[in-house]
Amino acid sequence: MSSTLNQPKPKPVEVKLKRHVGPIGLLFAAIGSIIGSGWLFGAFNASAIAGPAAIFSWLIAGVMILLIALCYAELGPMFPISGGVVRYPHMVWGSFGSFTMGWITWIASAAVPAIEVEGALTYGTKYAPFTVLEKDSGASAHVLTPLGMVVAVILLAVFGVINYFGVRLFAQVNTVIVWWKVFVICLVIVVFIITALATTASQSIGNFTSHGFAPKGFAAVFVCIATAGITFSFLGFRQGIELAGETTNPKRNIPFAVIGSVGITAILYALLQVAFTMMVPASALQHEGGWMGLAFKNDFGPLAALATIAGLGWLAYILYFDAIISPLDTGLIYTTVTSRVSYAVGRNGNGPRWLATNNKHGVPVWSLLLSFLVSIVLLLPFPSWQQLVGFITSATVLSFGTGPLVLAVMRRKLPEHARPFKLPFGDVIPFLAFYCTNMIVYWAGWATNQKLMISILIGYVFLVIYELSTRKRPNRPKLDFKASAFWVIPWLILMTLVSWLFDPTSHPKMFFWVFLINLVITIVIYIIAVKITLPTQKIEQYIEDAAHESEIEEETLAGGAID
């Protein structure tokens, strides 16, 4: 009896992430995340900032994001692990670098489900009192009512329940919704263009020049890339990276999802901007502000407003319905992503290990619960959709900036490592991608970036507390401060100074000089980040640890992978 009681308890079997996502499932996860609330506001916001020239904003942003995405398209198949945006810096610079990027990524990701739910309920206010329009310091904002708050919490809980039962269910639900979202965008583009040409063709085409093609100059074309929700509308490509550990064939599926999602949506968004410009009635521009004063009264959505003005009531109802479905789908996806970022933080040792604990469905359940709770906390009234979008854009792009640097390091440290997908032209694409990162962050403006930098400082306070509270833990990973601090901290300081000293709004004369200033900063930080890294042996050890983790339970395609 006593011998039985004294027997050691069997070690619990670790349930790992499961490879249930096929190429179409991964592509649709990315497209579904890209097509959220951004496209419902982006064309209007871009037009109000840059006029008809906003078409170039979408195209330039598409190219810039594609350059960044291409770097991850090479890294993803090399290291097919979930939470790659956070895990890759850990391999090269250790815990301090990965914590910095992980914190920024997590803050940005955790905000999205709450924002998308609030956006959906704002549109839903047409049918029920989910929000009320209030003014705070002269700015109008849709604030959740008690009813809206209850419904928002319920929707966030639904996101969590769907994710709890595994990535397979998530992919099945998402794939159906994405087909709908793509259909609606295509429908709006076709109907808007045909209607504009069939009614007032000359006026519709004249909209591109009658009030100036670029009424605020080409500086506005670049500013609205970061502030109008344009870059925000592309950031969903990351799902091809975050779910890399859960796809059936990383070598094929990751580049397919990353490149395909950006390419497809860039074309759709550019066509949507053209259709929107053509559909704006002449009466909406007959005032002193022209495009800068564009507004539609007594309506919750600009696209639906245009449809109503044109007598397309049926399309307006479809848009109102989609304005609820699209944001909710994106919120569902980002609930998945945020839990994977927390999972990566736990795996890296930058946070409690319980964050990386999976349930029987292979889902990081405690990370999922934490994401749900944080999303509820973030369900607070915000000054405007545009300001919050700017914050998320700046934070997410900043975290993406490490991908090009990791790629450059890996090519030098591990030139013989297998690369299923390899970018051409050496350092050209990684360097340009890092430069694009710095420019997009600058265009977001100081009002946004000061909040971002304060958030990063708060993250460092949490890091200090965590390090002090776990200093006696024998297996605590090293912080590897020296390997990353020499470039991470200078980079953040320089980006802060540039944003503050040369803010596009308060210092417009310096706007185009920042192209050169950021080029110098990009060169300096790129060189330092590539030179100062962990020793090759330590990098190989971290990669080996990640590879061991990626040896997970797989099912054959016949067994249920989502294609």
pLDDT in tens, 422-440: 888 999 999 999 999 999 9
- Residue 247: what pLDDT? 62
Output the pLDDT for position 82. Answer: 64
Stretch 382-409: mean pLDDT: 81
Q: What are the residue ranges spanned by the domains of the chain?
A: 24-279+297-540
pLDDT category at 170 given cuts 50, 70, 90 is low
Section 127-136 average pLDDT:
75
Q: Mean per-residue pLDDT for 310-322?
A: 89
Burial of residue 164, with CB atoms counted within 10 A of its CB: 0-12 exposed, 13-18 middle, 19 or more buried: middle
Higher-scoring residue by pLDDT: 508, 10: 508
Listed in sequence order, the DSSP H helices in 125-207 are 146-164, 167-206
pLDDT at 14 over 60: no
Q: Return the pLDDT at 554.
A: 39
pLDDT band at 380 (very low <50, low <70, confident <90, very high): low
Helices then strands, counting H and E runs in the chain, come out as 21, 2
pLDDT-derived band at 287, boundaries 50, 70, 90: confident
Paired tokens of 220: 């506005």
Which range is least confidently modeled, 83-97, 352-366, 480-494? 352-366
Q: Write down the mean pLDDT value for the chain.
A: 81
Is the predicted pLDDT of residue 87 greater than 50, yes or no? Answer: yes
Q: Which residue has the tokens 């970018």?
A: 423
- The more confident residue out of 525 and 334 is 525
Instruction: Quote the percentage of the chain above a pLDDT of 70.
Output: 81
Write down the pLDDT at residue 562. 35
Tell me: the pLDDT tens digits for 481-523? Answer: 888 889 999 999 999 999 999 999 889 889 999 999 999 999 9
Task: Give the model's confidence band at 9: pLDDT under 50 very low, under 70 low, under 90 confident, else very high.
Answer: very low
Q: What does DSSP assign to residue 358?
A: B
Whether residue 404 is predicted with pLDDT greater than 90 in this model: the reply is yes
Q: Which helix (H) or strand (E) holds 56?
A: helix 54-78
Lookup: tokens for 128 = 């029920």
Confidence of residue 299 (pLDDT cuts 50, 70, 90): low
Does 15 score more than 80 pLDDT? Answer: no
pLDDT(308) > 60: yes
- CA–CA separation, 265 and 256 (whole Å): 14
User: Any residues with CB less than 8 A from the CB of 355 and at least 6 apart, and which?
Assistant: 342, 343, 345, 346, 364, 366, 367, 370
What integer pLDDT is reported at residue 220 of this predicted model?
A: 93
Task: Pick 169 or 525 by higher pLDDT.
Answer: 525
Average pLDDT on 5-32 reads: 58
Using 50, 70 and 90 to split pLDDT, how confident is the model at 173?
low
Task: Count CA atoms closer than 13 A to 217's CA, side-chain side.
Answer: 7
Please state, as a whole number, how many other Cβ atoms lie within 10 Å of the Cβ of residue 428: 11
pLDDT tens for 24-83 read 777 877 787 788 778 888 898 899 899 999 999 999 999 999 999 889 888 887 887 766
Q: What is the mean pLDDT of residues 161-179?
A: 68
Fold of 24-279+297-540: Amino acid/polyamine transporter I (1.20.1740)
For residues 544 and 271, which has the higher predicted lDDT (pLDDT)?
271
CA 104 – CA 85 distance, rounded (Å): 11
Would you give the DSSP letter of residue 15? P
Mean pLDDT, range 170-178, rounded to an integer: 68
Q: What is the mean pLDDT of residues 208-236?
A: 88
385-to-228, 398, 498 alpha-carbon distances in Å: 9, 20, 25
The pLDDT-based confidence of 385 (bands split at 50, 70, 90) is low
Confidence of residue 382 (pLDDT cuts 50, 70, 90): low
pLDDT value for 22:
67
Asked if pLDDT for residue 527 goes beyond 90, the answer is yes
Nearest C-alpha neighbor of 193 from the set 207, 180, 181: 207
What's the Rg (C-alpha) of the chain? 24
- Judged by average pLDDT, the poorest of 144-158, 294-308, 339-353 is 339-353
Summarised one tens digit per residue, pLDDT across range 232-241 is 888 877 666 6
Q: Please write the tens of the pLDDT for every residue from 255-265.
A: 788 888 888 89
